[in-house]
Structure 1
Amino acid sequence: MARERRRQPGRRGQVRDPRDRADVWNGERAGEDPERGIPAVLPNLIEELQGQKVNGFGLKDGGCPIGTVPILRTNPNSHWGEDAPPPQSNLLNCVAGVQLNNDVSNNNTLFYGATGTLVLYKPRVYNDNQYSSTRIKLSYGDDSLEAGWMVSPKLFNDTEAHLYVRFLLAKQGGCVNLQCPGFVQVAPDAPLGTTPDTYSIIGGQQRFWNFSIEKHKDDGNWWLNVAQVNKAIGYWPKEIFTTLADVANKVEWGGQVYDFGSTDPPSPSTLPDMGSGVKGLYTSRSSSAAIYRATYLDENYVNVALPGNPTKVMNCYPNYTVLDDGYSPDFGRTIYYGGVQDK
C-alpha cells in the first residue's frame, strides 16, 4: 500500500509580476560598509554572477542594469533594523524543527552548508507584530544566518510569503534582508522579498523553492542559492561574523513563529499558523508542511543526508510539532512541521 506522503512535489514556485503589486523595486548599486568590515563588491564579480539567471525567479522586465540589484521597498517603521532587532526574550517565539549539533552523537561534525526543498504555504498571522517563517539556519555560538520564506505584515506590508535572509551577530543584533549592511545581493533578477505566484494546496499539489547555503572555499563567504540549479542570490561576508566566520557547529531545518509586540500573550484564537497550519505528525503527513531533501555539507564538501538521530526542537509543544520522517529515494530526508489553524 502506498504511503500517504507519496504525493509528488509540484513545480517550483514562480514569482508573480511585481508590477501587479504595490511594491516598488529600486535598482541600487551594491556598496561597502567599512565600519562592519564589509568589502565593496567588485563590478566584474557582479557582472559575472548576473550572467547566471535564477530559474523560477525573475522580474518581468529582466531585472536591473548590470552593476545594480533590485531592492524591495519595505516598511521603514518595522523596527527590524540593526539598532532594534526583535527581542530575544518575547511573549511568543516558537520553533518546530530538526537540529544537528557538533557533538559526540554526530561524530563532532562541523557544517559548511545545508540544503532543503521548502514547500510553500501562506500561514495566517493575526496582527502586524507576528511573523511565520520556514527556514534553514546555520549557527555557531551567538552568530547565525538563515534563509527561507516568511510572512510578516510589519516588514513586507502584506500577508504573502516572501523570500528572506537574516543574520544575527553576538551582542550586535542583526536584521532581515537588506535593512542593514550585511547580506550582499548579486542577482539582478532574483530579489530578496520575492513572492511565489501560487502556493501549495493542503493535501494536493505542492509548490516549493530549493535552498542551499554553502561556505565557498575560494572567498570564505556564505553563499545562498535558490532553485533546482545552482544559482547565486548573494552572500553573507565572512567578515561580519565572529564565531561563524569559518564554520557552523549547528544546523536546523523547520519553522518559526514570533510575536514581539503584544502586551499580552496571544490567545489560542490568535496564535499564528506555522507552515500549512497542520501539525507535523505521522497521521497528518499529507497535510502538514514539509522540507524535503534536507542535507548538510561536511568538511569534505559532500552533501550528507541527516543521520538517524538528530534532535527535534519543539519549544511550544503541543501547538507546534515536528516529525522526522526519515529518508526515502523519492524525497530524501523529509521533515514535517507546523501547527495551529482550526480557529
Structure 2
Amino acid sequence: MITHSVVVVVRRWLLVLIVVLLPLCYGGIVSISGQKLDDVDKQLKHLNKPALKSIKSPDGDIIDCVHISHQPAFDHPLLKNHTIQMRPSYHPEGLFEENKESIPKSNEGISKSITQLWHLNGRCPEGTIPIRRTKRKEILRARSIKSFGKKQHGIIPEPTMSTQPINLSAHEYAMVVVQGDKYYGTKATMNVWKPIVQQSNEFSLSQLWIVAGSYPSNLNTIEAGWQRDAYNTTGCYNLFCSGFIQTSNKMALGGTISSISAYGSSQYEYNFLVWKDTTRSAWWLQFGNEVVGYWPTSLFSYLADSASKIEWGGEVLNYASGGQHTTTQMGSGHFPKEGFGKASYIKNIQIVDGSNNLIAPIGVSTFAPQSNCYNVRMGNNNGWGHYIYYGGPGRNPNCP
C-alpha cells in the first residue's frame, strides 16, 4: 500500500499538513504495563533531535531550535544526500485579491500573520528550524509506540460515495470536491475555531486535500489545514515521519497558534498555499506569507506528476461510543446555514493550473454523507470568490 502521511499540526487548535506517500506501518496495541519505558525513551531520542537552543512556551511546550540539516526529514533513505532548497523557484501567479468594497464589513475576517505562543519567549536563529519537543506522556497516550504521531487512516472520499452505506465508527466528511483534470496545487483562506472533541482518540480537522491515485493500494495525498486534538493517529503528524523538509525558522509545526475565531465575534483566518514547483521537483507549503518547507517529488508515486482531485472542508473521526454518534464538533460546531460569524468557512478557493496560474475551480461538487451531523454549502461572489460554509455539532436529535 502506498500511503505515508506527514502531518504538520498546530496543537489544540492546530495547523495540519498530511502527506500520504509511502507504506504505513500499523502497530498492534501495546500494553503499557508490559512495555518497557526504555522503548519509549528510545523513541523519544529518535524524535527529539539535538538542539542548538531551546525555548519554553507559555503553554508548557518546549521548542527546540534544531540545525536545519539535522531535521527528521533526513532520516528518510531517499533523502540522505538531498541538497536543501531554501526557497521555491517561483510562486503561482494571479493570487486572489479580495475586493473589500463588495463585502459587508460584518463579513470580513481578520487575516493574521503567523503568531505562536512560543514567540513570546524567543525565536530560533537562522540556520535552524523550530521543532516542538515530544514528551513521554504523549507517546504513552498512543495506541502503540509505533502508532504515535500518526493520523488514523481513512478513505479519501469520492463524490459518488454519498449513495453508499456509511460506517459510523469511521471518518466523516463535509467538503467540496473538484476532479477530472490535472492540478498543481491550491490556495484557500480558512478561519480557525476550537471545536469540542468528545474523546482523546477522536479528532476534528479542517483542511484541503491534494489527491492522486486511489485507495487502498495506490494513494498519495497532501493535506493542509488546522486540527483539534490528534495525537492518537496513523500516517504522521508534524515532523514525526521523515519526508517533509522544513525551511522556515519561524513556525513550529505542532505549536499552538494564538488567535482563534469566536461565535458571533471576531473571525480569525489564515491563508494556505500548496503548489508544485516543477523546476525544483517539489511540492511547497506556504502558510500566510511564510514559506514553511517542501516535499520532494521523489517521495511520491502519483503525485510526482500532478493531482487528479482537490478537496476542501472538514473531517471528524467518529468512534460512536456506546453506539451513539460522537458529539465531536466539526469547524465551529454549527451548521453552515448559520453563516458568517457562526459557521466555519473556507474562502478564496483556487487551484493551480498547468501554466502556474491560480484560477477558480470548475465543476465543484459537495460531499456530506451525514448531512444531519455535518453539512456543507458552497457559493461564489466577488469578495470571497468560491467559498464554502461547513461543519456541525455531531450528535443531535437528527443525528443519533
Shorter-chain TM-score range: 0.7 to 0.9
Q: Which residue of 2 aligns with 1:323?
A: 377
Mapped partners of 2:150, 2:388: distance in 1? 33
Q: What value does the CA root-mean-square deviation take over the aligned residues?
A: 3.0
Deviation of 1:196 after TM superposition, in Å, equals: 2.5
Match of residue 313 from structure 1: 367
For the residue of structure 1 that corresponds to 2:231, the secondary structure is helix
List aligned pairs for 1:49-60, cutoff 5 A.
Answer: 55-57=113-115, 59-60=119-120
Counterpart residue number, 1:195: 256
Give the aligned partner of residue 174 of structure 2: 96
**Aligned-pair distance for 1:41?**
5.5
Deviation (angstroms), 1:193: 1.4
Distance 1:61 1:82, change over 3 A: closer
| CA positional deviation for 1:184 | 1.4
1:278 maps to 334
Q: Give yes or no for contact 2:115–2:258 (8 Å, CA) kept in 1.
A: no
Cα distance in structure 2, aligned partners of 1:213 and 1:182: 16
Gaps spanning 5+ residues in structure 1: where? 1-12, 103-108, 156-165, 167-172
Distance 1:39 1:216 in 2: 21
Q: 1:331 to 1:263 in 2, by over 3 A?
A: closer
Instruction: Tell me which residue corresponds to 2:25.
Output: none
Distance 1:316 1:153 in 2: 22
**1:73-152 alignment to 2 at 5 Å?**
73-74=133-134, 75-77=138-140, 78=142, 81=147, 86-88=152-154, 91-102=169-180, 109-141=181-213, 142-152=219-229
Alignment check: 8 A CA contact 1:18 1:60 kept: no
Shift of 1:285: 4.6
Equivalenced residue count is 293
SS of residue matched to 1:149: strand
Following superposition, the deviation at residue 265 of structure 1 comes to: 6.2
What amino acid sits opposite 2:139 in the alignment? P
Q: Aligned runs of 1:66-77 on 2, under 5 Å?
A: 66-74=126-134, 75-77=138-140
Q: Which moved more, 1:55-64 or 1:89-98?
A: 55-64
Alpha carbons of 1:41 and 1:60: their partners in 2 closer, same or farther (altered >3 Å)?
farther
Q: Give per-residue Cα distances to partners, 1:105-132, cap 9 Å, x unaligned.
A: xxxx211010111101000001111100
SS state of the match for residue 22, structure 1?
coil
Greater Rg over alpha carbons, structure: 2
Counterpart contact for 1:95–1:315, Cα < 8 Å = yes
User: 2:123 is matched with which residue: 57, 63, 67?
Assistant: 63
Q: TM-score, normalised by structure 2?
A: 0.66
Q: State the 1:87 CA deviation.
A: 3.9
CA distances 1:263-316 after superposition (whole Å, capped 9, x unpaired): 846624x421000011123x5455210001010001111111122x31211122
Contact residue 92 and residue 265 of structure 1 kept, 8 A? no
| Counterpart among 311, 316, 334 of residue 387 in structure 2 | 334
Q: Give SS of 1:232's match.
A: strand
3-state DSSP of counterpart to 1:340: coil
Q: Residue type of the partner of 1:248?
A: A
For residues 186-219 of structure 1, what are the alpha-carbon distances to aligned partners after superposition, in whole Å with 9 as ceiling and x for unaligned? 1111111132222112233210111000111221
Selected match of 1:236 from 295, 302, 305:
295
Given that 1:119 and 1:200 are in contact with CA atoms closer than 8 Å, whether structure 2 keeps it comes out as: yes
% same residue: 27
Describe the SS at the equivalent of 2:182.
coil
Q: Evaluate the alpha carbon distance shift between residue 40 and residue 61 of structure 1 in structure 2; reply closer, same or farther with a 3 A threshold.
A: farther
Counterparts in 2 of 1:178 and 1:286: CA distance versus 1, 3 Å: same
Match for residue 297 of structure 1? Answer: 352
Q: Secondary structure at the match of 1:154?
A: coil
Q: What secondary structure does 1:76 align onto?
A: helix
Label 1:39 to 1:324 Cα distance change in 2 as closer, same or farther (>3 A). Answer: farther
1:267 aligns with 2:324: yes
Kindly indicate whether residue 223 of structure 2 is the aligned counterpart of residue 180 of structure 1.
no
Question: 2-side partners of 1:41 and 1:292: how far apart?
Answer: 36
Q: Indicate if the aligned counterparts of 1:26 and 1:73 stay in contact, CA closer than 8 A.
A: yes
The CA distance in 2 between the partners of 1:18 and 1:101, in whole Å, is 44
Tell me, in whole angstroms, the C-alpha distance in 2 between the residues paired with 1:41 and 1:62.
Answer: 30
What is the CA–CA distance in structure 2 between the aligned matches of 1:145 and 1:127, rounded to whole Å? Answer: 26
Deviations 1:34-55 (A, max 9, x none): 53x2355546x44x79xxxx94
Out of 216-225 and 119-128, give the one that drifted further: 216-225
Alpha-carbon offset, residue 342 of structure 1: 8.6
Q: Which of 256, 278, 288 pairs up with 2:343?
A: 288
- Kept in 2, the 8 Å contact 1:276–1:289? The answer is yes
- Could you list the structure 1 runs, at least 4 aligned residues long, displaced by more than 6 angstroms after superposition: none
Letter matched to residue 137 of structure 1? W
